[in-house]
Chains A and B, each alone.
Chain A
Amino acid sequence: EDKVVQSPLSLVVHEGDTVTLNCSYEVTNFRSLLWYKQEKKAPTFLFMLTSSGIEKKSGRLSSILDKKELFSILNITATQTGDSAVYLCAVPRRTSYDKVIFGPGTSLSVIP
């Protein structure tokens, strides 16, 4: 059965810390992996990764994919209170059409 697993499920850090969030997957006909940030409302798209070893960066956030070991990490450096959110990992499953499977999310709390 296809699945997406994230760890840790929750994390509390102090402002300025660096955090690493993990996502592992077992999905049929893997194409890509996506990261989303969800604050109190709807998820917003962060990154899409399709190739192993190529880092995607946006400001203090970066992500990398390892297709051999079937995982991705999301790094956040110099965390700020505005980074507090649930971070979701998602993998489209290619069958007849693309269905997207979401992981359970990592709840990150950044305290001053």
Chain B
Amino acid sequence: NAGVTQTPKFQVLKTGQSMTLQCAQDMNHEYMSWYRQDPGMGLRLIHYSVGAGITDQGEVPNGYNVSRSTTEDFPLRLLSAAPSQTSVYFCASSPGRGKYEQYFGPGTRLTVT
């Protein structure tokens, strides 16, 4: 099993550009989440999903969209990048149904200039 995979590993965007961060898991997990991690701020939840077709907002959803058309994939879209979105982004999955341990992807380091 590859576990949770994320692409790209690094990305530089100019202000106003849009892009999609890809996330996939092959563990048949129900739950998937996107976090951003900033120095001194810890991991903050952006969006999450409890199954295909079901998504909800986390703590910091503004400027991001998600969709979950399949169990495996959970892409994160930045609509119009801003310097405040410079961060490390982690995708995570967990089995759900009371099994809360999350498995994280390797992360994407995004810089917005």
Contacts and interface: CB of A to CB of B under 8 A. Distances in A.
Contacts, number: 54
Interface stretch (A12-20, A51-59, A74-82, A97-105): A97-105
Contact of B42 (A44, A48, A102): A102
A88 interface: yes
B30 to A, nearest CB: 10
**A interface, size bucket:** 20 to 34
A75 to B, nearest CB: 20
A45 B102 CA distance: 7
Contact of A34 (B56, B58, B90, B101): B101
Interface string B33-50: 101000011111100101
Interface string A32-48: 10101000011111001
24 contacts: A31-B100, A32-B100, A34-B100, A34-B102, A41-B106, A42-B105, A42-B106, A44-B104, A45-B101, A45-B102, A48-B100, A48-B101, A90-B102, A99-B45, A99-B58, A100-B33, A100-B45, A100-B102, A101-B45, A102-B42, A102-B44, A103-B42, A104-B41, A105-B42
Top 6 nearest A-B pairs (CB, nearest first) are A42-B104, A102-B43, A104-B42, A45-B101, A92-B100, A97-B50
